[in-house]
Structure 1
Amino acid sequence: MTQENPSPTQIRLQTLVGAGVVLLGLGLAAGAISIPSAAGYGGVGPNFLPWLISLALLVCGVFIVREARTGGFRFLEEPTDAVHGHWPGFAWVSAGLLANAALITTIGFIFSCTLCFVLAVQGLRGAEGRADRRPVAWLKDVLIGLAISAPVFWTFTKFLAINLPGLTSTGWL
């Protein structure tokens, strides 16, 4: 169900969200100023990505503010009747992030990111009430995590020459 006429409080809060995104973009732009702009490989310097992201955040923030000021977020879903967040899901996702940070230099980027993915998916599924603890589900999540993290690792290490922690010195694992 969608809301037709948001209240002035909702419009104010939605405008604050947009303003926060604009401030985040401005903060990133302020940080990008201090990054040297000497062009590297392909004519792109190290400050290119921060400037690109800050510009994208500024544009999105302005659009969010405009959307809020011209009638509020359209097609906004009604909030659930949940009194609080899903703490077990939060714990699963937190465990994934903490395990990734703790193990990335020990078991390498690919396996630590795969573990993070598997634990986060378990938490998010649980929060939706679709928890699946069967071994086949875990195996599927591991394979998907590997399919995501391995190409990212190889792209960074082989094509962009950016060193990420690996399990072996070959650069492939």
Structure 2
Amino acid sequence: MTTTNTKERAPGQGGNWPQTLVGLGVLATGLGLGWGAMGISSDAGYSGIGPNFFPWMCAVVLTVCGAWILWEARTGGFREMDEEGAPAHPPYWTGFVWVSAGLLLNASLITAIGFILSCALCYLLAVQGLRRAGGQPIANAPRTWIVDVLVGLIISAPVYWTFTKFLAISLPGLTNSGWL
């Protein structure tokens, strides 16, 4: 048995303008990333892949996705959306603020306190925001924060050591030893 969505439009009838704007935004982001990737050196590195490979790959994928979203929006809109158009759950802005604060603090503090500590802080704040967004009770807050900091350190320290010691890629550290 098949069901039809009453919101579907025939091709050529136009689409929803907010959805069109999303498609244009993704398309513009992909094109902007491609324009930026043109300024990156293409000198081949290990296995013939240069430093511009991943930016170009991301630019192509974003451009294709943006064009696809734009096509979907202009030929009937996003077909799997709820009939009412309202989200089932309102956005949880507090969680968004926690995660955003983690990312922004990481970006602003990475040169001052080093990669390991700034990434651990980012992890702590992002996990706290995701816990709150998921509705998890924060009954034992001090213990939870300590565990999250330790897990952040356990994740970020090996990443830092791998990049600095094994791959010889310079990341900001707390000391000049290359270990912190």
How does the TM-score come out when normalised to structure 2?
A: 0.73
Q: How many residues align?
A: 169
SS at match of 1:37: coil
SS at match of 1:146: helix
CA displacement 1:26-52 (0-9 Å, x = unmatched): 111112122222223432222222111
Identify unmatched segments of 5+ residues in structure 2.
none
Answer yes or no: is the 8 Å Cα contact 1:122–1:131 preserved in 2.
Answer: no
Map of 1:4 onto structure 2:
5
Q: Which has the larger radius of gyration?
A: 2
In structure 1, C-alpha distance between the alignment counterparts of 2:148 and 2:103, rounded to whole Å? 16
How does the TM-score come out when normalised to structure 1?
A: 0.75
SS at match of 1:17: helix
The answer to which of 16-25 and 136-145 deviates more is 136-145
Is the helix fraction higher in 1 or 2? Answer: 1
In structure 1, C-alpha distance between the alignment counterparts of 2:103 and 2:121, rounded to whole Å? 9
Answer yes or no: is the 8 Å Cα contact 2:15–2:75 preserved in 1.
Answer: no
The answer to which of 68-77 and 18-27 deviates more is 68-77
Equivalent residue for 1:13, pick from 8, 11, 18: 18
Question: Are positions 1:126 and 2:132 aligned together?
Answer: yes
Question: Cα gap change, 1:172/1:6 in structure 2, threshold over 3 Å: closer, same or farther?
Answer: farther
Question: Cα gap change, 1:111/1:22 in structure 2, threshold over 3 Å: closer, same or farther?
Answer: same
The answer to which of 117-126 and 17-26 deviates more is 117-126
Identify unmatched segments of 5+ residues in structure 1.
none
CA displacement 1:124-163 (0-9 Å, x = unmatched): 3323433525233223322432343234323332343221
In structure 1, C-alpha distance between the alignment counterparts of 2:154 and 2:19, rounded to whole Å? 37
Q: CA RMSD in A?
A: 3.1
Answer yes or no: is the 8 Å Cα contact 2:106–2:121 preserved in 1.
Answer: yes
Shift of 1:85: 5.6
Shift of 1:120: 2.0
Map of 1:36 onto structure 2:
41
The answer to which of 97-106 and 48-57 deviates more is 97-106
